Amino acid sequence: MRFWIDFTHPAHVNWFAPVAYKIRANGYKLLLTVRDDTETVHLLRYWFKDFKVVGSYGGPSLEDKLKAYARRVTLLSKILRHLKVGALLTHSPDSTWTAYYYNIPIVVVTDEPHAKAVSKLTLPLADRVISPSVIGLERLLSFGACREKIMFFKGVTEYSAIKMMEKIDVDVIRELNLDSSRPVATVRLPAWKSSFLQGNPYLPLIYRLIKSAVRYLLEKYDCQVVILPRDLGEAPLFKEYYRKGVIIPSTPVYGLKLFQTSKIVITGGSATARESSLLGTPTLLCMPPLTDYRSGLMPEDEYLRDSGLIFSTYNEHEIRDFIDRVMSGDYDISKAVKKVTSNFEDPSDLMVKAILSVAKDE
């Protein structure tokens, strides 16, 4: 039997690669498709070589997104037309639509129902919906998910990849030519092209706070600051710091390994915050607040913040105080990580179970 897994975002590599690894280890065939996004393709290569690059990212424009979706559905259809597949694991509308047309059972994984368009276009068609329990039943039902088809797990979607990090053989110190005797600070910029952040009035503030934090780290602590942009077009934002120790990799870096090496992580994206904090690295989440949630944070991030793993603020003085505490060694989250993860379930196990339960014989 063959299973189809679709990757359309860098975060999906850490969601789905462990599932693909386990499915293949059990003797099943795989169809791995990935949207042509430089970062996603590059990161997936750390796990697998035999995947198909299908379609491209439409960018921040709604019209361009729709055109890219339509093109990708056409391309996926050409592949599926002559291929029998037992089930699909996905987060994306384009593969969901294609699978539904070909009567392929669909397992949708979601941890961001605030992405309303994606949720409305995937959850109602899913044979199984998998989500962190902190998301809550009512939120998924509001987007058309069927109550009987929802499967919750304790924890976060990124946890599987963290448990399987030994499968990835990469030396980021050597890859980025870092000085192992000096502290490393990693900075991840916001996902400004995502539909749920379009028009968010806080984006300029977030960039100002992140730039201020970078300047503070360079001037006071002589850090090696590695900035992970969403695309290289953001690099000029930090050109004034190039000679002071800022590194902007020309190719994507496997984040988990870099976060593990870092003394501190500052991020405008929630997936990075979850990954780095669960690795025990002190993490500042400085993400544009989301109006869908009372706290402004995604439920998983709010849970990790309240559990002492993530620090989140929009106050420049509090950010500097956080940096000072971390750099002085007065900020240890290792006990909090151990306590929180003791109750976690491995979501990849649930995904494998879901795929097998809905699979249609070839």
Q: Residues 231-248: what's their mean pLDDT?
A: 73
Mean pLDDT score of the chain, rounded to an integer? 91
Q: Please write the tens of the pLDDT for every residue from 152-193.
A: 999 999 999 999 988 888 899 999 999 999 999 999 988 766
pLDDT exceeding 90 applies to what percent of the chain? 71
Task: Supply the pLDDT for residue 300.
Answer: 94
Question: Domain 165-341 is in which class?
Answer: alpha beta
* pLDDT tens per residue, range 13-39: 999 999 999 999 999 999 999 999 878
> Measured between alpha carbons, how far is residue 261 from residues 11, 26, 119, 201, 353 in Å?
19, 33, 35, 33, 33
The mean pLDDT value for 113-134 works out to: 92
Whether residue 243 is predicted with pLDDT greater than 70 in this model: the reply is: no
Instruction: Answer yes or no: is pLDDT of 293 > 80.
Output: no
Report pLDDT for 361: 67
The DSSP secondary-structure symbol of 340 reads H
DSSP state of 156: -
Report, as an integer, the average pLDDT of 337-353. 97
Is residue 362's pLDDT more than 60?
no
* pLDDT at residue 58, as a whole number: 80
CB 278 within 8 A of CB 309: yes
pLDDT at position 320, please?
Answer: 97
Instruction: Give the pLDDT confidence score for residue 146 in this predicted structure.
Output: 97
Supply the pLDDT for residue 156: 96
- Rounded to a whole number of angstroms, the CA Rg of the chain reads 20
Residue 112: band (very low, low, confident or very high) from pLDDT cuts 50, 70, 90: confident
What local confidence, expressed as pLDDT, does residue 343 receive?
Answer: 94
- Equal fold, 2-154+345-358 vs 165-341: yes
Q: Is the pLDDT of residue 232 over 70?
A: no
Name the residue ranges covered by the structural domains of the chain: 2-154+345-358, 165-341
- Number of H helices and E strands in the chain, helices first, is 15, 13
What is the CATH number that goes with domain 2-154+345-358?
3.40.50.2000
pLDDT at 5 exceeding the cut of 80:
yes
Retrieve residue 162's tokens.
């963290």
> Which alpha helices (H) appear in the chain, and where do they start and end?
10-25, 38-44, 62-80, 93-101, 116-122, 137-141, 159-163, 172-175, 203-221, 255-261, 270-278, 299-306, 316-327, 334-341, 347-358
Please say if the pLDDT value at position 210 is more than 60: yes
Judge whether residue 205 has pLDDT over 90: no
Q: Are 319 and 352 a contacting pair, CB within 8 Å?
A: no
Tokens of 91: 């987060």
Name which residue leads in pLDDT, 114 or 223: 223
| pLDDT number for residue 82 | 87
